[in-house]
Structure 1
């Protein structure tokens, strides 16, 4: 058995095209990227640059037209639909802008759902533990309507973390939150990376959110257009302004 890669996810020459013939659209064009374990990466770019497609291909929600995606030492492109579903369930966590909680279930029941779907009987202690981890240990019995937007997003985060995923993906996870609540959720994500070695990959349009990441990868027209390491919100905003102003 070879040594396990230090990368949680690797994309090699990944392209994703939709449609055929003259109407075909290339959402990703020969993208090669590595996401090291225990790091926080933000993905940014102008509208239509391929950010969400990148996230979906990296998380195994969409298959690339060409190229390969590897999670740990497993190449996704070679997996059957069934094996891909199992891998996503066991090793990938996903948080969206819309919290996607079931309104009739309590916080505790929402968090336990991925385990139930996997045919596992959730232990009350593990569910309470992950709720405490996101600062909601005292809200286990509350339903989504009894919680603020920030609390609902933290329940969604706990639900994504209950399976102890290798990688946590966020698609604009703070997009629906006010700036104070957004900061709380980002601080939580940052803490998980620093204290627990969680790998986080987040698409965002917000330079302040991106400044919480170790590095920011920029996409333009489906291609990687450089990155910034440990950058301030101001530097990230300046880079984005430049990209958006660039002639097509």
Structure 2
């Protein structure tokens, strides 16, 4: 087992003559929390999609948990995403007719595996919802629904959890609660998290903030503070194209 959960080398992604990523080299250590930030159109979401195996890069390599993604068949890539990668997005994407416990168990059932009640309870307990297992999404707040989405992503014990604006649809208080939960997963469980965000306060919960501009890494901040991140972002957005 390596100390690196995700490694990106020379990553390029070109969409219809537009270069979204231009030679990105990044490593995400195991048990770390990284925020990916940058101006609109900087390549943040494309980086996340390529790193998570949702999109194939034009060139370069992606390695997750020691496995290189290039050359994998669609079936093997699907199995890798299912078993070793967790996803959380701004939209909770819960099934309204299922309870919290059933939503959490869904990835395992879709994989043809029978989830144990203990595993589902443990995943819900990790996000502070052990008492909500029988509730459907319509009876839950936005923050609780996002916690169920987190539990669903964690049920497979992924090598890395990718989060795309996970607090974008939440109010300030609830978003801080979810961010504190993510921080706790890193500190207590050694979970690796890569989070795209536009919020400097959200980035301040991470170990480091990686800054992108025009598809390239423009720098990074260690133990970033919200004001420090905001100032760097303002400086990047002020640079003429």
Q: TM-score, normalised by structure 1?
A: 0.96
Alignment of 1:201-212 (within 5 A): 201-212=194-205
2:3 corresponding residue in structure 1: 6
2:90 corresponding residue in structure 1: 97
Alignment of 1:1-248 (within 5 A): 4-19=1-16, 24-248=17-241
Deviations 1:98-120 (A, max 9, x none): 00001011100000000001110
Deviations 1:82-130 (A, max 9, x none): 0000000000000000000010111000000000011100111110111
Deviations 1:218-239 (A, max 9, x none): 0000000000000210000000
How much does 1:5 deviate?
2.3
Unaligned runs of 5+ in 1: none
Deviations 1:180-237 (A, max 9, x none): 1011101111011011110000000000000000000000000000000002100000
Unaligned runs of 5+ in 2: none
- State the secondary structure of the residue aligned to 2:86: strand
- State the secondary structure of the residue aligned to 1:78: coil
Q: Distance in 1 between matches of 2:161 and 2:170?
A: 19
- Name the count of aligned residue pairs: 241
Which runs of structure 1 show a deviation greater than 4 angstroms over 4 or more consecutive aligned residues?
Answer: none
Q: Distance in 1 between matches of 2:134 and 2:3?
A: 39
Deviations 1:32-89 (A, max 9, x none): 0000000000000000100000000000000000000001211001211100000000
Q: Distance in 2 between matches of 1:38 and 1:126?
A: 21
Q: TM-score, normalised by structure 2?
A: 0.99
